[in-house]
Chains A and B, each alone.
Chain A
Amino acid sequence: VNRRAVALIALAAAIFIAVPARSADRSLEYAVKATFLYKFATFVDWPPGTFEGEASPFNLCVVGADPYGGRIAQAVAGQTVGKHPIVLRQLTKADASSNCHAMFVAGSGSQDVGEALRAVAGTPTLTVTDSAFSQEAGIVHFVIADERVSFDIDNVAATRNHLVISSKLLSLARRVNTERGTMR
């Protein structure tokens, strides 16, 4: 049988709730979002020269505290993007020299989401935001649709940041913003 199907079932079984929680349990939602975060990179091309070498680090930055309760660190531990090992960097404030290949922005006390996005606009940074924490959207913006984690993609902002997003990732998005308007 398909190993992935088995993994899917095992995953659902791992979300084991022994007592009815009083508030919504979002642990699975957060774990899925944290995993998406580094998997996006496989479907994005950075401009030539962005990486020093074939195996140089891929910098994944998180601006502010991880709102997913540490699940980003768990998700990326030991993972790579191609041959680039992922290095997780926690920033309180992002700027154009932060050298983040991908940046997740939930807002910190010293910099809100919009400020962080503007700080790296025009640099080759894949910005990711979450509608659960901000209405300001980065290139990829998580949403919940039909009880599943989905995302909107702003391809205009991607082009501005010199990134090329593969058609496969675009096809998975709920909405894609292009120069010709919003698709789907």
Chain B
Amino acid sequence: MFHPVRVWVSAVFALAAVPLAAQQQVATAQDLNKLSIEELAQIKVTSVSKTEEPLNQAAAAIYVITQDAIRRSGAVSLPEILRLAPNLQVARSDANTYAITARGFNQNGGTANKLLVLIDGRAVYSPLFSGTFWDAQKTLIDDIDRIEVISGPGGTLWGANAVNGVINIITKDSIETRGWSADARAGTLDQRLDLRFGTSLGSRGSLRGYGIGMHQGEMVRANGDDVGDDWNHMQAGFRGDWRRAADTFTFQGDIYRGTGIGLPAYLTSGEISGGNLSGTWQRGFRDGSSLRVQAYADRARRVLVSGIDARVDQYAVETQYEVAHHGRHALVTGGGLRITDDEFQPGPATSRLSPPSKTLHFVNVFAQDAISLTERAKLAVGLKVEDNTYTGIELMPDARLSYTASKRTTFWASVSRAVRTPSRFDTELVNPGVLNGNPDFESEDLIAYEAGYRGLLSPSFSVSVSAYYNVYDRLRTVEASGPAVFPLVIRNNMEGDTDGVEVWGNLSVREWWRVSAGANWFHKDLRLVPGTRDIFGVSFAGNDPSYQWSVSSDADLPRGLTLDVSLREVASLANPAVDSYLEAGARLGWQATKTLNVSVEGRNLLHAHHLEFVNPSIKPSEVPRSFTLSAHWTP
């Protein structure tokens, strides 16, 4: 009989039995020595990071959004930037509320709980409900170095809640952001001003400071009426980097406040505020090993019109040590401690948390060994052990095999386990007579089987394909406590599987013209455990399109002009129902002078407004067509 755990165990043993070849990998230095000085100057050096380079052979479905792509997309907020990743599902349900996930289980307003998001190594998910409040996550657009989007589990390296994917937002070193940058966008929907100044500090350091002011315009009803959900956001922050021989020290912080006046019916209207401070020490050793230690503190508060006042403080220390290649092994090991302290004051008519204030801990250690089996085959095996307040010890093992079939082609496959640990809402939510959280709520569990291919079919054409089969167990259900139905109780009585395919590719048609395309297909088969008294059914676990695709064309024209157009289609959603939609965007940019770039952009051009996602608690709001005029000045 098919049994996932047994299959996983046998797969790991099968991989371990692959014979080890004697030959070592070719030393980089020898290859470089053969190159002329002009050829050296032509090598793209940004490695995993800028994985658009198809020759980088990460054994995972990783898509990298580069600063250049962000700039050319004209996107005005982080969620809009994330639409560039073909392995994410992004839907807007409100001016400042997005539902974002990978590989399904999308839910509204931060309740998509299977995706882990990090900004410069700082986890920004809320332990209240294991989701990300996208309205609170902003960075100066020009300071983003890249965004790594990994679909598939990342529990072994990133820890619990990296179930269906990881989004890793990485900002530039402050040495790269010296001088002024001003970025102004005036649009029919959104307006935003980004200002930054960076400077050297002596011969060893550099520092930047920034400010953001932003207004996100309101959505519209199906009949065209304004919703009244517009949102204002102010943010300031800094980052400093100091270097001394092999050491680099980074200090950074942000502080923000967002307000939405909105209608009282709006769950999201109210005020959010918060800030964070982070320090990172990195040391590179002579043998190529490296050590990274990061500590951070983060506060997030939201006061909603419903009367809810929720505060979450997080404190974390994390270390990672990468051992240089020892023979055929490359080891990464580390550990971390994260403590969250929250306080949840309910509104007069809302559920409450019991106890209203709680401190949670998460402690983890992990190790991963990447073993060169042959010159072409590499096996990475890893395990993270994490202890949390609710369920104690959780194991997150991972095995990834990659095979470089030719210099231009890599195949990879993996088996891994990830968990979503209980949140405060799963365990301690109380609405007397109506709903009770479940202190015995268990972690949701995933065993994922993945395989992929990356290839450079010609020097100008690259393709990535990944397929997955995910087996979930103990998913959250909301059940009747007995024949009287109420109070409801939260349990773990859903299970099932999902499968899907993600494809993307890039074609440089000409030196000045690039075309890229991406698509994903998703299928789920969830079921309730027999005997459960679940009242919402499997659709409660997520509202996901069965496919989506996008195509974009980026052209560099004469006289400093650029013309970019894009088209995307997202399939329909079942419950609540949303029709499939096709939308288009276009942007004309002009490098007017060496320091000034101006552009005009249109988004969602095909319809006056279209529906993307419905929050069942409020009336549907639709995303209107918009036009934006932007100027980016970098003296």
Contact = CB atoms under 8 A, between A and B. Distances in A.
B244 A107 contact: yes
A183 interface: no
Interface string B242-260: 0111100000000000000
A23 to B, nearest CB: 6
A21 interface: yes
A31 interface: yes
A108 interface: yes
Given A10-B407, A20-B150, A29-B46, A69 B286 contact: yes
Contacts of B59: 18-19
A29 B40 CA distance: 10
B31 A132 contact: no
B29 A26 contact: no
A4 B382 CA distance: 37
Interface string B345-386: 000000000000000000000001010000000111010000
A119 B157 CA distance: 46
Contact of B47 (A24, A39, A77, A114): A24
B553 interface: no
A162 B157 CA distance: 53
Contacts of A34: 29
A133 interface: yes
A147 interface: yes
Interface residues of B, number: 77
A10 B404 CA distance: 12
B244 A20 contact: no
B58 A20 contact: yes
B12 interface: no
Contacts of B402: 16, 18
Contact of A4 (B26, B39, B332): B39
Nearest to B43: A32
Most chain A C-beta atoms within 10 Å of own C-beta, residue among B57, B154, B400: B57
Contacts of B26: 10, 14
Contact of B29 (A10, A71, A112): A71
A48 to B, nearest CB: 24
A65 interface: yes
B245 A18 contact: no
Given A7-B31, A35-B35, A65-B286, A15 B47 contact: yes
Nearest to B401: A18
Interface stretch (B126-134, B200-208, B620-628): B200-208
A26 B46 CA distance: 7
A11 B43 contact: yes
Most chain B C-beta atoms within 10 Å of own C-beta, residue among A13, A34, A70: A13
Given A20-B148, A23-B292, A148 B35 contact: no
Interface in B277-323: 282, 284-288, 290, 292, 320, 322
B44 interface: yes
A46 interface: no
Nearest to A43: B37
A1 interface: no
Nearest to B66: A147
Nearest to A77: B29
A70 B58 contact: no
Contacts of B62: 20
Contacts of B47: 15, 17, 24-29
Interface string B262-290: 00000000000000000000101111101
A180 interface: no
A184 B284 CA distance: 35
B57 A70 contact: no
B49 interface: yes
A67 B32 contact: no
A36 B29 CA distance: 11
A169 B36 CA distance: 12
A43 B150 CA distance: 44
B444 to A, nearest CB: 23
A69 B203 contact: no
Interface in B133-185: 145, 148, 150, 154, 157-158, 168, 170, 173, 175-176
Interface residues of A, number: 66
Contacts of A4: 34-36, 39
Contact of B45 (A64, A136, A144): A144
B9 interface: no
B233 interface: no
A3 B150 contact: no
A96 interface: no
Contact of B243 (A133, A147, A148, A168): A133
B332 A75 contact: no
B393 to A, nearest CB: 23
A55 interface: no
B27 interface: yes
Most chain A C-beta atoms within 10 Å of own C-beta, residue among B32, B148, B288: B32
B41 A150 contact: yes
Contact of A67 (B41, B206, B245): B245
A135 B31 CA distance: 30
B45 A29 contact: yes
A21 B320 CA distance: 11
A182 interface: no
A131 interface: yes
Nearest to A115: B203
B556 to A, nearest CB: 13
B460 interface: no
A16 B44 CA distance: 14
Contacts of A131: 175
A69 to B, nearest CB: 5
Contacts of A135: 175, 200, 203, 206
B41 A19 contact: no
Interface in B509-539: none
B37 A172 contact: yes
A20 B32 contact: no
Contacts of A159: none
B25 interface: yes
Nearest to A42: B37
B31 A148 contact: no
Interface of A: 3-4, 7-29, 31-32, 34-36, 39-40, 42-43, 64-67, 69-71, 74-75, 77, 79, 106-109, 112-114, 131-136, 144, 147-150, 168-169, 172
15 contacts: A3-B34, A8-B35, A18-B59, A18-B370, A19-B157, A20-B48, A24-B170, A31-B32, A32-B45, A35-B32, A64-B245, A71-B28, A107-B245, A135-B206, A149-B40
Given A25-B49, A148-B43, 12 more contacts: A11-B43, A13-B407, A22-B320, A24-B49, A26-B45, A32-B43, A35-B33, A39-B40, A69-B284, A70-B287, A136-B203, A148-B41
Interface of B: 25-29, 31-50, 53, 55-60, 62, 121, 145, 148, 150, 154, 157-158, 168, 170, 173, 175-176, 200, 203-204, 206, 243-246, 282, 284-288, 290, 292, 320, 322, 324, 330, 332, 368, 370, 378-380, 382, 400, 402, 404, 407-408
- Which 9 A-B pairs rank lowest in CB-CB distance, beginning with the nearest? A29-B45, A11-B31, A12-B55, A74-B29, A18-B370, A35-B32, A25-B47, A18-B380, A7-B34
